[in-house]
Structure 1
Amino acid sequence: MSTVKYFQHHQIDKEKWDTCIEQSPQAVIYAYAFYLDIVSPFWEAIIEEENGNYLTIMPLTWRKKYGITFLHQPIFCQQLGLFSTEKEVGIEKIEQFLQIVLEIYSFVPRYQWNVHNTCIFKNLESIFIQQLGNKNFTFFTTHHLALSRPYSMIYQNYSKDRKINLKRAEKANLEIVESEDIEPLLAMFKKDIAQKLPKGVAPNAYELFRKIFKALKVRKWCKLFYTKNTKGEIRAGALFVFYQNQIIYLFNACYQETRKENGRTLLIDYIIQSYANSDYIFDFESPEIEQIAYFYKSFGAEEIPYPAFINYNHLPFWVNALWEVKKYFQ
């Protein structure tokens, strides 16, 4: 008989954990132990175990601030949630996991489940709204492009603007080169993109990404490409993750002055051409930004929803009041 329990970090058998992820239909790179160790070093979990094997698991990526421990979504980690070796996860099990989560955490600013959890959540939406409240349960969207057709057929579904911009990129005489040096990509992002983000970029984000890149490279799960001009100068770059049948557009950047060259369009199209007529799904890993979503849809990608908890706050009134005071004096 299986048991479902909360596990602290030191209690988790990471070999069993990764075996469960590998055998799970919901498998994503973000949920592997090595990845969680980088983005949330002391992550914990809820685990269903039977005969020493992990059947269903849920990573708990927590932080602590002002003495309050809360569940949150780490940077560079779009989707977590439930992962199971079973083909279908029953309603009772979902409710059991959710109950344990809410017993542990009174505060969940944001926690994102994976796209394969969507059907479960849509079927049980009323239950989650009852448990969490209408304002604390929502669906976000990423974009997927199936590469199962020939490139010519995929290209037909590019928008008119995307086709025009691809031709501009080709006329710019850009060369696509594969690299193992992540620093130019981070430098481009830091110079011309980071400052435009509403909340900026955490000081440790760049070092975290270096660790992620190194770990993915060791496993041969990623490819890094740049565009260069005729002078050999780097103009744009992108890191693509290859795992099972997924290609994830994990990170990209270009200089402000090179945007009109459409180097990133060229890189995405290059990957689509290279892996067309295959079982791969290209995951654009979309943020909730309309302009970026429009760009991804211009390649013919379709919207794929995934569930999320947001702004769940059952902390005592006096704790919230003290927190607001501390934020005011920061």
Structure 2
Amino acid sequence: MWTSYLVQRNELDDEVWDDFVAASPQQYLYYYTWYLDAACPGWHAIVVEENGKWVAVMPLPLRKKGGVMYAFQPPLTQFLGIIFCPAPMVRHSYYGFLKNATQKAIEALPPMAAFDMNLHPGIDYFLPFFWNKFTVQARFTYLLPLDGDFQSLQKNFSQNVARAVKKSQKDGVAVSLSSDETILLGLLRKEGIFDEMCADTFRRVWEKVRRSGNGFILHATVPEGKVSSATAFILDGGRAILYASASDRDRKNSGANALVVSEAIRRCCEIDGIRWLDCEGSMLEGVEQYFRSFNPVAKLYLNVQRLKYPLLYKLYRKLT
């Protein structure tokens, strides 16, 4: 028998939830309780059971304004949505399982004016969302496989990246390691990449990362002693995630950002168990072109939306 229900954060057992995430084929940083607590405090969740066993969960960052409830993708969280337990089945049974679990999760959603969520890249079965009047759109991210030594990977960088790295090294730009987010946050705010909400989210997430030791920040410093570029990386389940990055526009031609990413790739190649660098990609043409220059693999993921009041959705999007 299939059942599904909505639960509040304080009704969830952290160990049970995190064990489910760790065993899921869609295991990822964004689904663990510690991350959700930092990125969207007070989150809810939908749990789907088959014969009393958890088979799917969906973190739900519910918010309410003016008596209207909605769920949007949390700040600094590339994807979220439903994830499943391992289901080793023949294909027709597997898709039947995904259909039932996704449909039950949708049935448990509370009445909302807007739902806007990116699904895990490993999920390509979206028909229950389509049948329930959700709009489904394709998006792309980039993953760099770290399946060789750094020198082999470096040979496949674009000429623009290779020139930028060479120029920055020739000009005396130095890359250093840090765990302190202060300089990076300053650049992110200065360049208008983060508003105060994103900055607060980053501080909460990075406090957890720093305590666990599962992340690092790289600074690129020009000879005058000024940090011109900084990037934060989080290590998670065999991958390094490029979590936030900013460069000083006054020194945008220094090549410092390319040097930072290149150095991060080199470091990740030397860390046991890290097999991928998640560049997080972008739907912005200029940003997409930059990440593509490091020769990653393009990975499609899906955005699902259901908007009861489209104009109200646009207003709330500006406020959140």
Is this a same-fold pair by TM over 0.5?
A: yes
CA contact (8 A) 1:193 1:253 kept: no
Correspondence 1:165 to 2:164: yes
Map 1:1-330 to 2 at 5 A.
3-49=3-49, 54-87=54-87, 90=97, 91-101=99-109, 104-118=110-124, 120-121=125-126, 124=127, 127-133=128-134, 136-194=135-193, 201-276=194-269, 279-310=274-305, 312-314=306-308, 323=312
Aligned equivalents of 2:131, 2:51: Cα separation in 1: 34
SS of the counterpart of 1:117? coil
Q: Counterparts of 2:20 and 2:221 in 1: how far apart (Å)?
A: 41
Amino acid at match of 2:233: F
Equivalenced residues, count: 306
Q: Which whole-Å CA distance do the structure 1 matches of 2:87 and 2:81 have between them?
A: 15
Cα deviation, residue 265, structure 1: 0.7
TM-score by length of 2: 0.87
| 1:146 CA displacement | 0.4
Shift of 1:164: 1.4
Measure the CA separation in 2 of the matches of 1:62 and 1:257. 39
Note the alpha carbon deviations across 1:168-206, whole angstroms, 9 max, x for none: 122121111111221111111111233xxxxxx543321
Residues of 1 paired with 2:263 and 2:222: CA distance? 16
1:55-87: CA deviations, max 9, x gaps? 421101111122101111010111112222314
Alignment check: 8 A CA contact 2:231 2:260 kept: yes
8 A Cα contact 2:56 2:101, kept in partner: no
Shift of 1:9: 2.4
- 2:61 counterpart letter in structure 1: T
Say whether the 8 Å CA contact 2:218–2:264 is kept in structure 1: no
Deviating beyond 6 angstroms after TM superposition, the runs of 4 or more aligned structure 1 residues are 50-53
Matches of 1:220 and 1:100 in 2, distance apart? Answer: 37
Instruction: Name the stretch that deviates more: 4-13 or 52-61.
Output: 52-61
Counterpart Cα distance in 2 of 1:309 and 1:85: 21
Cα deviation code 1:203-247 (max 9, x no counterpart): 332122111111111122211110112343222110001111111
Alpha-carbon distance between aligned partners in 2 of 1:249 and 1:209, rounded to the nearest angstrom: 13
Q: How far, CA to CA, are the matches of 1:276 and 1:140 in structure 2? A: 27
Q: Distance in 2 between matches of 1:256 and 1:14?
A: 42
Deviation at 1:54, TM superposition (A): 4.0
Quick one: distance in 2 between partners of 1:262 and 1:2?
55
- The 1-side partners of 2:281 and 2:268 are apart by 20
State how far apart, in whole Å, the 1-side matches of 2:292 and 2:138 are.
18
After superposition, the Cα gap between the structure-2 partners of 1:204 and 1:173, relative to the gap in structure 1 and judged at 3 Å, is same
CA distance 1:13–1:2, change in 2 (3 Å): farther
Question: Within 2, Cα distance between the matches of 1:259 and 1:105?
Answer: 46
Alpha carbons 2:120, 2:301 under 8 Å: kept: yes
| Residues in 2 aligned to 1:247 and 1:256: alpha-carbon distance in whole angstroms | 26
- Residue aligned with 1:19, SS: helix
The answer to whether the Cα contact below 8 Å between 1:16 and 1:54 also exists between their aligned partners in 2 is: no
**Which deviates more from structure 2 when the two are superposed, residues 182-191 or residues 229-238?**
229-238
User: Shift of residue 19 of structure 1?
Assistant: 1.1
Structure 2 contact 45–60 (Cα < 8 Å) conserved: yes
In 2, the alpha carbon distance for the partners of 1:276 and 1:208 equals: 29
In structure 2, stretches of 5+ residues that fail to align are 89-93
Please tell me whether the aligned partners of residues 17 and 54 of structure 1 are also in contact (alpha carbons under 8 angstroms): no
Deviation at 1:253, TM superposition (A): 0.9
* In 2, Cα distance between equivalents of 1:138 and 1:87: 26
Determine what percentage of the aligned residue pairs are the same residue. 21
With the length of structure 1 as denominator, give the TM-score of the two structures. Answer: 0.85
- 2:91 corresponds to: none
* Segment drifting more, 91-100 vs 296-305: 91-100
